[in-house]
Structures are given as C-alpha cells and as structure tokens.
Structure 1
Amino acid sequence: MKSLKFKLLVTFIFLIVASFSVMAFILFNSSKTIISSYIEESALEKMQEYATYVELLQNQVYDSASLVYNSDVLYNWDRVHLDENSTGGAKMLANIELSEYLTQVTNSYTPLANMTVYRLPNLWISGENYMNRNDSFTDEPWYVDITTQERYWIPSSYDRVELVKGNTNLMVSMTMPLDTYNPAGADSLLKVSVTESYFLEPLERLHLGETGEIYLIDRNGQMLLSGQKETIEAHRYAYLDELKSVKASEGRLFRTNEDGETEMIVYKRLAKTKWMLVGIVSEKDLYSELYKLRKTVFVIVSILLLVSIIVTLVFSHGILKPLNSLVAAMRHMKRGDFNQAENRMAHETSSTTEIAFVIDVFKNMISQLRQYISKEYQLTLLKQKAEYKALITQINPHFLFNTLEMISSLALQNRGKETSNMILSLGHMMRYSLKISDEFVYVREELRYINHYLDIIRVRYQNRSTIELNIEDGIADLRIIKFIMQPIIENAVQYSSQHRDQIMVTIDLARSEHHLHISISDNGPGFTPDQKYQLTHQIMKQMQTQQYEDKERQIGLHNVLLRCYAVYGDAFYYEIGTSRFGGAEVSLYVPIKEDEQHD
C-alpha cells in the first residue's frame, strides 16, 4: 500500500505541474495575441491623429508658399531683376517690398519661423528686412538636395538665416522653385521653415509601451527630426531601410534584433507627402505586464511543487532511506570495501515487507561474497607467485645445458685450464641462481653474475667475441630483480654468432631520470616489425589477464619483460631498436627504488 501511495503522490505532483504549465502556456500565448492586436490598433489610432496634425502643418506651409508664389509683389520683384535696364535703387526697393511681404505672410501663420527667397547667384531675401548679397547658397545641403534629388522637404537642420537672427532652433523646411517646375533649372527658390518642435513635441507624447518610440521619416526613408536621431538605436535603421520597399499604407511587422529580442514595428504612410510614421517597441516592453503575470504563475507552481515534494518526502521516507543505504552499500561493494558495505547495512530495517526482504538478502549476499572473494584471492596470489617463480627457474636449466655442452667440448679438446675456469665460473653462477628466495638483488651482485657469464662466453668463442661492459658510477647500490640482463645477453651472443663471424655486444648501465637504463646491443640480424608486434602483443595480453606463466617456454627477452611488468607494473617500460652495429638494441627502463622494500 505504501508503494501505491508513493506512486499516486508522484502522479499528483506531475498533474499539478503539467496542468499549470499547460494553462500558463495557453493563457500567455492567447494574451500575447490579444495585446499585440490591441497595441497595433491603438498605435495606428495615435499615428492617425498625429498624421492629421502633420497634414495641417503641411497645409499651412503649402498655403503660405502659394500666397508668395502667386503674389504681385513676387511678380514685380522678379520683373525688376530680369530687366537689364533696372537701376540698383529700383532693385533695392523691390527687395524691400518682398521682404516686408514675406514678414507679413510669416506672421500670418503661427508655425512658420521664416520664409526666404533665394536668387542665383547669391541673393538672399527674408522677412524683417534681411537681405544678403555676399554669400552664395549653392553649397547649402538643402540646395544640393532639391537640385540633384528633387527633395523638397529638408530634415531638421540649422537655418542659416535664423542663425544670423540669433535663433538656434532646428528647422524642418520645404523648398520650391519659383520660376520653373524643374528645380535644377530654377533661378529663384522659396524656402519655408518650421521650428522642429512643432513636429517633435506632439510626437514625443505618443508612446508604445514604456520605452517604444514613434519615428517620422520622409518618402526616401530618411528621419526628418534630428531629436530622434540622437536616441534611435543603430539596428533600428535597418527596419527603416526595409520599410522603403513596403507598398502597404499601414501594417505591422515582427523582427529579431542582434540581441535576440523580438520587436514589433507598426507603420502608417501619410497620403499627401508619402511620409511614414514608424512605431518600434520591443516584445519585452510590449508584454511586460504579461511577463509579470507569467512569473507570478511560475512562483505559484513552484510553491505548489515544493509543498508536493515535502509531502512526498514525508510519506516516502520509510522507503527512500533504506533504499539509499542499499545503494550506498552497493557502491562500497563495487569498490571492494565490504566492511563499509556491512556497516552501512548493519542496523538498516524497513517497515515495508518488500524492502525488508531485499535488505536481508543483500546482507547475506555480502557475507557470502566476501568469503568467496577471500578464498579466490588467496588462490590467485598463490598461483601468481608460483608462476613468477617458474619464470625465474626457466632460466637455469636452459643456461646449464648450454654451458655443460661447452665444458664437454673443451674437455674433449684437452683444454684443461679453460675447462677449469669455466667450471669455476659456472659454480659461482649456480650458487647465485639457486637463491630463488632473493627476488631483488643489488646491481653489483647482478654484475658479478654477468661477469662470470661473460668469462664463459669469452672462453667459448675466444677471439670471435668483443663484449663491452660500461657502468656509470653510483649505480652499484641500486636494487633490481634477479636475472634481468643475462637472458638478453645470451640471446645477443647467440644470434650474433649465428649470423656474423665476429660477435659484437655492448652492455651499458646508466641513470635516466628516475629509471636505471640498461641497454644491450649486438650485431645480429635484429628484430623485424612483425617480431616486435608479436612480442608486445603477447606481453600485454598476459599482463592484462595476470597470467605470468610462460606457456610457450620462450627463454630470453620475453621472460625478462614478463617478470619486469609483473613486478614494476606501468612504471617499467622498454624500447627495441637498431644498434650502431646494425643489429638489435634492447633498452630496459627499470624504476629506481634504492631505499624501498619491493613487494
């Protein structure tokens, strides 16, 4: 029953989380759709109100320009300047009359800052008797725009005439030719300027969300108000460029910025001038209240989940505690720590019948498995020790038979002194080799054994052998395993004698960092790549299975390597290469342990 309660509790938790998550997801997405549509409609309504206001400003500009364009004052002024017989006084009078008229028209329309008539090459006439003949206006940006691009409306900038009057406000201006429809061929132009604040202040009162902005751009996609250029983010210029190709008069777009945030773009095109109002607001700002609601739902779900977990832990404590102890005991068993496993489960019980039965079975299994492993471990150690001893004893019969054959041969040749020396050397070697209990010896003892062996080799081969023994100072007191060099030297002599008239063998012993480097070189046939591979593969296979017995009874290098790996493990390594004589070179790197007892 308790197990059933636990399952029901887990199911209950899942249903709470799943139901609230699905509900929150549906409500969130539905609300986003509703809010998005509402924001779009609200933004378009605000834009329509502002568009109506902008069109009123434009109409006043156009009306004032029309008054000037159709006035008799402008006609008389133009006639006087075209007449070659007009005197300077007549032209000055005409200029004054035009300036007074421009003042009158400007004062009649509140939004207008000034109206200025320009005549090539350098005549400026504005209201309040402002006249200038000294400066050319052809390099002004507005003049370049209208004559080269036919751009009639000029984005907000400083008006040179107003600056002379001391007015530093930014102006949005409209220019038009007076004597022809082609701006590039016009001799006279009219420029009507409106203070930027008339456009900017009503626009700044329109908002999308908390941080959204609405921008006014002209038919070429350029921002008309400099005040907005200072606050617009760089990536939003890309949105404005994209809207140049949009044909619809109004609509909504969604785009993702470089920070991965989604932004909504609402736009509306003004019918008369083809200007466009563009509102941009981030989704984060647009749905800020909705995100707060989602966070609240998440907190509620988290609290419910926490309460459910606490209730689950209270109800399932009787099951989880013994199971956790059981898992911990299994981890100790995996590492071979049976004491910790037994201690962990010693006093563990459970009120659940099924769990209690599992605990009792596991305790019995620990006890039985521990006894079995202990017996198996002892048997394995005995087997490994016997196999290792067998590796050592393999050397003695092999070498003994070879030496006895040599002594027999010398005796038949009546070489008594040499026979006596060989028997004496063999006796020293046998006395050394019969001490099987001494697995580790000093280097000086092993070298004494090697010298006896080399004496036998020199007697046997006489002038055919050249054997060098090079020993670095300070290594005599190092300890190594027994019979580590003699089998390899024996192989070197044997293979060199079979393939060469002169036997060349070099034995070098030296320190190499934390290892004793033993190098044995000969002038025999050397090792083939296949022989190297087979030797390495066989050694590694036997070490992985911990089978130290030399089943193939191969005496020599194989025997030495197998014993070294059995004793030193991965701290030992070897290299097989080509000697300077062209034969084999075997290098053994034996770990140096001067003051430690080997196990």
Structure 2
Amino acid sequence: MREKIAGLARRWQSAYRSTSIQMILSASFTAVAVLGMVFMGLTLFLRFSATSNAQQSENSQRVLAQVNLNLDSYLRSMMRVSDAAYYHVIKDLDLAEEDPANQLELLYESNRDSLVSIALFSQEGRLLAASPMGVLKNSVSPERESWFTAATERIENLHFSTPHVQNLFDDPDYRYRWVVSLSRYTELTWDGSIQGGVLLVDMSFAGIEQICKDVDLSASGGYLYLTDDAGELIYHPRQQLIYAGLLEENNRAAAAYTDGTHTETFNGEHRQVTVKTVGYTGWKLVSVVPAEELLDNYGQLMLFFLFIVLFSVFLLIFVNLRLSEWITAPVKKLDRAVKELEAGVQQVDFDVGGPYEVEHLSHSIRSMVSTMRHLMADIVQQEAEKRRSELDVLQSQINPHFLYNTLDSVVWMTENGRTEEATVMLTSLARLFRISLSRGSNIIPIADELEHARNYLTIQKMRYKNKFSAVIEAEDGVEKLYTIKLIVQPILENAIYHGMAYADGDGEIRISARREGDDVVIDVTDNGPGMPEEVVERLLDPDAPRANTNSKGSGIGLRNVHQRIQLSFGRRYGLTIHSEPDAGTRVQIRLPALEKVPDQGKEGKP
C-alpha cells in the first residue's frame, strides 16, 4: 500500500514538474472556483433542506394544534354533559325518593349525536339509572371494569378510557358501538345519607374518529394517530391492520416523546414525528412524515444546481485560460531571458513588464546577476590575497636572521669547545625544520605543533643565555587533535623579541592548550613589558601598513597566523591579544577541535 502511494506521489510530482505554469494556474483557479460553487451550493441546499424540514414541522404543529382544538372542544362538550348530569340532576336528588332516569334521558336526547349512553352506579356497582338503555347484561360486573375502578381510586379526576365496544347493556338492535368512556366519582344522597357512586358517560368514538380523519397530510405523505398516555392506540388510520398484526406502529415510544418535533428510525424508515398532548386526558396526537417524502421535494432543486455548476465550469475554464495566459506571458519571457543567461549571453534583456510582482522579479534577477559578477571578481581578488598571505607565511616561517644567528651560535660553541651545547642546538634546529616541512602537509597534530614550539624555545633560550624560562602544558586528549602548522612559533618570536630580549633571567613564557566544547584554545603568555592598546589593535588590522618583514617584532607573523586561521576555519576563529603596559601579554589562539585530518589534507573548513 505504501509503495502504491509513493508511486502515485512520484507520478504526481513528475506531472507537476512537466506542466506549464499557465495550465497550473488555469487548473487551480478552476478547481478553487468549482469547489467554492459546490460548497456554496451544498450550503444553500442544506439550508433549503433545513428550512423545508422546519416548514414541515411548523405545518405539522399547526395541524396538530387544530386537531387538538377540535378534540378539546369535543371533550369539553362531553365534560359539560357529565357536569350537567352530576350537578343539575344527581346531586340535588334523594335517590330513595326520586328517580333521575327521566332527567338523564332528557340530557341524552339533547346530546344523542355524540352520546351512546349515560349511566349511574352505586359504589357497589349496582345500576341506579341509565339512558337510553336500562338493562345490564347478566355477565357484566361494572365494579370490575377499569373505568369504574379508576373513578373510585382517584375520586378527584375525570377519567377517559381507550376506545372499546360498549358491552354493559342489552341492546335490542344487537349493535356493537365503539365508545370512549368518561367516568367520575359522585356523591349520592340516599334517604338523607351520603354515599359514593360512579357516573358513566359513553361518548361515541365516531366523533373522535371523524375529527382525526378530517386531517389531511397527504401532500407530504404523512398521517396522524392518537394514543393515550401509556401508548395505547385510540385512533390510527390503519388501526385494523395494526390490531390484526399486519402492520406495526411506534406508538409506545411516541407516547414518551415531549411535545414538539422529533426524528426517529422505525423499521428502517427515517421519519419526522411531531407530538402534541391533548389537555385533560394526557392523550398524545402524533403526526408522522416519512423522510423519503421530504427528499422527493429536493429533486428539481438538485437538477437545477447541477445545471448551474456544469455551465459555470465551462465558463470558468474559458475565462481562466485567458486570464492565466495574460499572467504567465511575462513569466515565460523572463524564463527565456534566464535561459539565455545560462547559455552565457552577456547582454540579456530582463525588462519583461507585466504585473508588479513579475516586474519586480525581473529587476531583482538583473540586480542579482550584477551582484554575482561583482562577487566573482571579489572572490578572484580574495584568492590572490590568500596566496600572497601564504607566501608571507612561508617567508616568515624561518626568519633568515634567526637561521644565521643560530648557525653563528653553533660555530662559536664549537670553537670554544662547547660541543654538547652545539649538538643540542643543531638537534633542535633539525627537528624544527622537519616539523616545518611535515612532508608537505599543512595539517599536523597539535602534539607536533607544540614540539615545534619546544624546539624553537630550546634554541632561543640557548642564544639568549637563559634570560627566560618556558613552560608548555596541554590537557589530556588535546595533543591528539589537529591544527594547521606553524601558528605558535610566530607568536613566540614576538614574545621573545618584545618581552624577553631585555629580561634579566626572570622572564617567563607559558604555553597552555585546552579544549572548550567544540573548540581548542591555545594561550601564549609572557611577563614582558606589554603593549599599549593602540599597538594591540594595529597588530591584527589587515588594513594597517605592513612594516619591514625582516625587522624584529614587525607583527607580520601574528597577522599571517590570524588570516590563515580565518581563511581555513571561518571568522569566529583566529587570534585574540590581551596586553597592558608593565603587565605582560597573552595571545589566545582559537581553533575548531579537529579529531581527524580534513579531506586531502588541505586547508579548508571542516
């Protein structure tokens, strides 16, 4: 898998490098514009969908509100019948002396379009009065019915039952009427004493069914149903199929929903469900709109959106091609000018015009070419200076006066019989020459450089008749590192000529080498008369006039060592001189810590 991805990435990079800037700009502009249009279109589409869903929700809520209002009116009319029967008929009668049947019949006759029956029962379930039918079935025990127990257990409320077949009375017509029972607890007067009872008003379910059937949600493919607070169906347009087990409804879950709009998935179908609670009863009005019906309304919008996108893409491709050609023409001209420069043409025209950025780029390239030519000239000059510095170093490595004086001292010692001292001086001189040559290598171990300094000091101490002492120290491991050769001896030469020539046996020169992180520091310290600050500043100044190289203490040796180190390792390395009159001088050499010889053994930055 990773190899396939890497292969695709390589092919993409290859195609990108071989594609013109005009094509890249055109494709980029078109892709960005199309993505922008798609994003805006999807945003508008989603916004439209959300608005459509919200409108459908508001429509369902309005429908449910209207149905709720109609049901509330219907239920209130039944409650008024119950109140009239109780407060205007039953409550004022002594049932031991008067029969309320006639008055209940009158009440029934005035509301017979919505009533099936009115009945009054004692607390034991005995029928006291009823209209229009007054004979109970032998198999019926009213006190065991749910509407009866609900009224006696919660005497302060009115109780509505779920739809059921009226099965209390013998019906001469043998009709089965679907009713919703409204029951309540009543106080009955019997022979001056108060007893409990139950008033039953059976409402025709056809009235409720008609209210719910009148709702039209067919435009959105939806329907409405009614449940009690426990989720039992009171009305459903396909109620018979549900009772027969041929269809299912999510009525139990819907009864637990709060009023408002919800989304649900039932039997794999996404639906928008709106719930409204019917007052006094706890019943739930539920409207259901399938999500597929909502999506059907978006088809035409999607077609229109696709047409707009395709048309815009063709238009954008044409416009972007023309625009990218106008932008890239100066860039192509600048590219041709750069290729001419690569071919070696001396006079190249970089005035390409075009947008500000391209014109600025052409000016920058012209300025860069001019700067490069000046830099090349400077590099040539610097190389010449470097070669001259190297020649100066070679000239200052072995001062002719030092060699002559050493040989004169050897001859004088030999003539006076001091052959042992002459031998030591000649041996030190030979070792000095051997390390100076180093088989042509310019990079030597620090141990050899310190040995070279030790031989040089041996010769000078004998020439100056031990007017000074010398100490050479090095930390463990430093002598194994590498340095360019002959950087300590010129510093010792200056220390001897300036500080030790007039010493009276108390002169001291100390050489110490140590490592500081990634650097090596070599300090050459003497206790001579020191130098003023202006002399110190002039010693390493490359622009200072050069004195006679054959004169003692001219400073050319220090300056050459400083330049050689910086040419080899960079500006952060070289010499630092600390000196004060009558306080001595300390010259510090800073080098990189080289643990091996650089490539080819030549000077250069490691």
TM-score, normalised by the number of residues in structure 2: 0.40
The answer to which structure has the higher helix fraction is 1
- From the CA coordinates, give the structure whose radius of gyration is larger: 2
